[in-house]
Chain A
Amino acid sequence: MNYILSKEEMERVFAAISVDFESYGAVEKEGEVVFDRVHSLAEVSENRSRYAPKEFLIRRNENVLYLEEQQRKAVFGIKSCDLKGFYLMDKQVLNRDPFYTERRNKTLFVNFVCNAPCEGGFCSSFGGPVLDEFDIQVLREGNNYHVMASDKYDKYFSGYRNDDGSYFSDFNRKFNTEMPPLEVDGLENRIKWNSPIWKEFASRCISCGACNYSCPTCYCFDLYDDGDERKREWDSCILSGFTSSSAGNIRSGLDERLRQRFYHKFVYFKKSKDEFLCTGCNRCVEDCPVGIDIKEVITHDYSLE
């Protein structure tokens, strides 16, 4: 259902949610927006966080021999592009990975729709920034909050003023004129295996892993034994030890591994799950120290190669 709430009313909703959940939110620290415990909605920053808060569902490093019961957490101020990453991951790991699933079921995300396009972002290419799937979606207009609540969390809004939701669709239309979507249709067929761009990327890449670590959709991990624990840790498909077999990595060249990353996002995932594995957040571009730009992969003219 859709609602419209005043600032005070939103604080009351925050308080009600905080009774049932441990509340986290985007907060500023030394000029960086990070996630931390919050005790009121007023503390939550509307600015885009420095990173996609993946660790709420997939820990950077954890022991997988035990699954402890998880705390119920509410995360306020996650941006739509970062949240959408979880909906894409769901298609691959929900109900398969017990750690992810346990946390997914116990975490409530309150996504803040951006009021204006961010620099470099291209979420409109993948349907953003207003999402079709969400827990509680919020769009501020002056002192009022437009809210879309999913059935599961609708109870927190009972008694508040209903809204017809047109504000969201109008806003998304307007946003799309400010951030014109890139042409992604058919990319899975257009992209070329032998394009020279993979080698050009490889000549710059230093294998830092940032593009994976920063991506809200990347979920791969490495598994290793550490004493009496078996741990998994975030991994990066750019590294040569990733998925290596006794004969080494089947993608021995850095250009092949970079290509694999983009093919996974734009070809394999699309063909198997009917979605691109990218939300347009631009984080991989921002964190890449040598400026490798996924938008180039999308807009590149492959027809002459």
Chain B
Amino acid sequence: MVSVLTVCPYCGTGCQIVVNDEGTEERVIGYSRSPVNEGKLCIKGYSGLSYNFSRDRLKYPMINRDGEFVRVSWKEALDETADRLLEIINEYGPDSIAFQASAKCTNEENYLMQKIARLVGTNNVDHCARSCHSPTALGLITTLGAGAATGSIESLAAARTYFVIGSNTTEQHPIIGTKLVTERKKGKNLVVADPRKTQLAELATIHLQFNPGTDIALLNSMMYVILEEHLEDEKFISDRTEGFQEFRKAIDKHSPEITEGITGIRPEELRRAARLIARDRPTSILYAMGITQHIHGTENVMSVSNLALLTGNIGVRGSGIFPLRGQNNVQGSSDMGVLSEWYPGYVPVDSPKVERFEKLWNKRLPRNKGLALSEMFDAAAEGRVKAIYVMGENPLVTEASVSDVETAIHNLKLFVVQDIFMTLTAGEADIVLPASTSLEKEGTFTNTERRIQKVNPVYPSPGEAKPDWWILNEIGKRISGIKGYESPRDIFEEIRQAIPGYAGATYDNIYPIGKQWPINEENPAGTEILHTKTFPLGRAKFVPVVYAPPAESVDEKYDMIMTTGRNYFHYHSGTMSRRADILERESPEPYVEINAVDAKRLGIRNSQAVTVESRHGTIRTKARITEKVPPGIVFVPFHYDESRVNRLVGKQVDKLSKIPEFKVVAVRVFA
């Protein structure tokens, strides 16, 4: 029996788990000394790890020869991958290839992937944070100078009021959700803005059940009320911010009486909520995909930031902005620069600071913006991109407008997928490389509160599967001229040089409980609360944003709004959670949540098969009649490859961050 302390492979909360292993037998407990989860876990932590032993695990490298996957040796797979990539680069230039990294992989692996891409001369490296928190990175870097949660999970207990907007916290970040539940029961204020009636909404002091996509109208109205009633923090505004006057002008047009027609929220409700947030401080503001997955995602984030600045809710324990990260390593992978407009540590690709990496890596590096995830497949369809290398992603399920993704993949000269399962996406690949899971390898993850935590191997890898860093290392040696790394620790040592916030972290000092970046000479123990005295920008910026409607709206034919998301039991495209028996039993099939009023109007009974049709596609799925969604709105989870909701999602993206609008799709539902 061995007991290993590592990190839960699921959500961005980053609970620390102790796994007791005897063969495939595992006992999972929460690490009681962890400041993140204090020994607690959700059902995914307890019962979600059995995917690791699934008989479907990829065990050998394979090459698709004439439509059939043939088992090959690692050498053959690696050589062929490298040769074909080099051929394409030589013929069409480095920007003809693109890399997709993964927020489920370690910091070391993501760092390595972007380094290889940039060494071969392209910034075409991006990952799934594009589809979840790219607006956060961009939005908060613009307003505050750092795209990350400003406080710690522990510090949430110090708040007197919570404002949760666009986050179903008890289902998506359950352990963070439970902190809110517990504090609420102690009598703290909880304001929840969500079109759905979530568990937190049921417990809330005020639930603002507003119309999807009208976040800015809602937030601006709150700020209108705060200004009208002089509840703003004048001292904070004058000492620590800039741009207040222009911002104020933009707010003027948003009285709650005017926005009621947009948001559907009664002015009196909204006023009460605004007063709680501004008066009963400190207030912690938590948000997730409900804010970001919109064509105004970045503006939504900046609007949340405006609210925090206006009410002086930043830099003090119990206050702050908490963008909740979906996957375990969204924060870390973004920090590592697997984003097409940023080098590691959020250095813009077109800034002179890129020199730092040119020195470190000893090579001239590309300074043009690369293709974002949402653009790579379009470029492939147009023939500009000839090869895509995917690590641990399943875009055929998770990207918007998946039918176009299919066409794009068929147009490629080379499609390489490195994964733990034969996913729908891997099934389309020319070369499939079998990877180890995070329970089989070493490295680090950075959780939603910036805590860098050590990941440790519990089990051996099946067959010939190898850790992603090992595979990338081999590819890197062949195509980018890196000399190669000995171990993840070796890569981490370089990350410490590349990213100042990581400089003070070592494998030894982040074990066992991790440290929150920035970790440096002034803050050797890490930094729990950001922006206590100054902002990275010096002064934080108010950015005026005005409401504009979402890309899609209802009409006579498509008369309902669909929003998409996850449920408690599943995760991402379901490749892991759907192979965990208990989780799959709890949520075995796709469904659409629909209000009883609509169901009655449409003659739909509970559990009946229905068609959901948008302007972009259709799916068949089961109706689930519930009070969780209000009339006029339906909700569909995106985990199920047998009924891919992303067929329905259009291609409109946020101009600034290029995130697709997964949250507002006009649809019609019929039996």
In the complex, B356 has a CB within 8 A of chain A = no
Stretch at the interface among A84-92, A107-115, A147-155, A282-290: A282-290
Q: Interface size for chain A: under 10, 10 to 19, 20 to 34, or 35 or more residues?
A: 35 or more
Select one of A60, A227, A233, A289 contacting B174, CB under 8 A.
A289
Whether the pair A203, B40 counts as a contact (CB closer than 8 A) is no
Of B29-37, B74-82, B86-94, B282-290, the segment with at least 4 beta carbons within 8 Å of chain A is B29-37
Q: Which residue from A36, A51, A59, A208 sits with its C-beta under 8 Å from B1?
A: A36
Does B245 touch A at the CB level, under 8 Å? no
Q: Is the CB of A206 within 8 A of B50?
A: no
- Does the CB pair A226–B55 fall under 8 Å? yes
Residue in contact with A206 in the complex, picked from B1, B24, B42, B185, CB distance below 8 Å: B42
Q: Is the CB of A208 within 8 A of B203?
A: no
Q: Are B46 and A210 in contact (CB under 8 A)?
A: yes
Set A36, A203, A208: member contacting B202, Cβ < 8 A:
A203
Give the contacts of A217-268 with B (CB-CB under 8 A): 222, 224, 226-227, 231, 233-236, 239-241
Closest to A31 in B: B33
Q: Which of A204, A235, A286 has the most CB of B within 10 A?
A: A204
Q: Report B-chain residues with C-beta under 8 Å of the C-beta of A241.
A: 582, 585-586
**Within residues 539 to 562 of chain B, which ones have a CB less than 8 A from any CB in chain A?**
none
B632 close to chain A: CB less than 8 A: no
The CA of A226 and the CA of B581, in the complex, are separated in Å by 9
Measured in the bound complex, the distance between the Cα atoms of B482 and A68 in whole Å is 50
Minimal beta-carbon separation of A52 from chain B (angstroms): 10
* List of B residues within 8 angstroms of A296 by Cβ: none
Docked-complex contact A209 and B203, CB < 8 angstroms: no
Q: How many A-B residue pairs have CB under 8 A?
A: 122
Chain B residues with Cβ under 8 A from A30's Cβ?
5, 18, 31, 33, 512
Instruction: Write the chain A residue with the least CB distance to B38.
Output: A289
**A37, closest chain B residue (CB):** B1
Residue A157 is within 8 A (CB to CB) of chain B in the complex: no
Q: A203-B202, A206-B178, A210-B40 are in contact. Are A287 and B30 (CB under 8 A)?
A: yes
A227–B55 touching, CB < 8 Å = yes
Q: Which chain B positions have C-beta within 8 A of A273?
A: none
User: B173 to chain A: closest CB distance in Å?
Assistant: 11
Q: CB distance A32 to B1 under 8 Å?
A: no
Assess the B43–A203 pair: CB atoms within 8 A: no
Residue B25 at the chain A interface, CB threshold 8 Å: yes
Inter-subunit contact A209/B47 (CB<8 Å): yes
Which residues of B are found within 8 Å of A239, using beta-carbon distances?
43, 582, 586
A 175-206 binary contact with B (CB < 8 Å = 1; else 0): 00000000000000000000000000001101
B3 CB contact (under 8 Å) in A32, A60, A204: A32
Chain A hits for B586, CB < 8 A: 239-241
Chain A residues within an 8 Å CB radius of B26: 60-61
Interface positions of B from 173 to 220, Cβ below 8 Å from A: 174-175, 177-178, 181-182, 185, 199, 202-203
Given A30-B31, A222-B585, A239-B586: A213 touches B46 (CB 8 Å cut-off): yes
**Complex-state Cα separation, A236 to B50, whole angstroms:** 16
A34 touches B25 (CB 8 A): no
A35:B40 contact, CB within 8 angstroms: no
A29 sits at the interface (CB 8 A): yes
A224 interface neighbour in B18, B174, B585, Cβ under 8 Å: B585
* A207: interface (CB < 8 Å): yes
The verdict on B39 contacting chain A, using a C-beta distance below 8 Å, is: yes
User: B422 interface residue, CB < 8 Å from A?
Assistant: no
- Contact (Cβ within 8 A) B40 A287: yes
Q: CB of A275 within 8 A of chain B?
A: no
Q: Which of B1, B32, B203 makes the CB contact (< 8 A) with A24?
A: B1
Does any Cβ of B come within 8 Å of A55's Cβ?
A: yes
Across the two chains, which residue of chain B brings its CB closest to A55? B27
- Taking CB atoms, residues of chain A closer than 8 Å to B45 are 208
B residues 1-39 touching A (CB-CB < 8 Å): 1-3, 5, 18, 20, 24-27, 29-33, 39
User: A50-B18, A208-B46, A213-B46 are contacts. A34–B581 as well, Cβ < 8 Å?
Assistant: no
- B170 in contact (CB, < 8 A): yes
**Is A291's beta carbon under 8 Å from chain B?**
yes
Are A208 and B43 in contact (CB-based, < 8 A)? yes
Contact A206 B177 (CB under 8 A): yes
Distance in angstroms between the alpha carbons of A203 and B55 in the assembled complex:
38
A303 to chain B, nearest CB (A): 24
Report chain B residues within 8 Å CB of A50. Answer: 18, 29, 32, 39
Asked if residues B182 and A290 are in contact (CB atoms below 8 Å), the reply is yes
Are B581 and A222 in contact, with the CB atoms below 8 A? Answer: yes
Interface assignment of B113: CB less than 8 Å from any CB of chain A: no
Assembly CA distance A34 to B5 (angstroms): 12
Residue from A51, A206, A233, A291 in contact with B29 in the complex, judged by beta carbons closer than 8 Å: A51
A135 close to B (CB within 8 Å): no
Q: Which residues of B contact A209 (CB under 8 A)?
A: 43, 46-47, 582
CB neighbours of A222 from chain B (8 A): 581-582, 585
With A50-B18, A208-B40, A239-B43 as known contacts, state yes or no: A203 contacts B203, CB within 8 Å. Answer: yes
Asked if residues B41 and A34 are in contact (CB atoms below 8 Å), the reply is: no
A102 contacts the other chain (Cβ, under 8 Å)?
A: no
* Cβ contact within 8 Å between A60 and B43: no
Closest to B585 in A: A241
Q: Which 9 A-B pairs have the closest CB atoms?
A: A289-B178, A289-B40, A241-B585, A34-B3, A241-B586, A208-B42, A30-B512, A29-B3, A290-B178
List 19 A–B pairs whose Cβ atoms lie within 8 Å, in order of A's numbering.
A29-B3, A30-B31, A30-B512, A32-B32, A34-B20, A37-B1, A50-B32, A59-B25, A61-B24, A61-B25, A204-B181, A204-B185, A206-B177, A206-B199, A209-B582, A224-B585, A240-B586, A241-B586, A287-B39
Q: A: which residues have CB within 8 A of B? A: 24, 29-32, 34-37, 50-51, 55, 59-62, 203-204, 206-210, 213, 222, 224, 226-227, 231, 233-236, 239-241, 286-291
Question: Apart from A50-B39, A209-B582, A236-B582, what are 13 other A-B pairs with CB-CB below 8 Å?
Answer: A29-B3, A30-B5, A30-B33, A34-B29, A36-B2, A50-B18, A60-B25, A61-B24, A209-B47, A233-B581, A233-B582, A287-B30, A289-B178
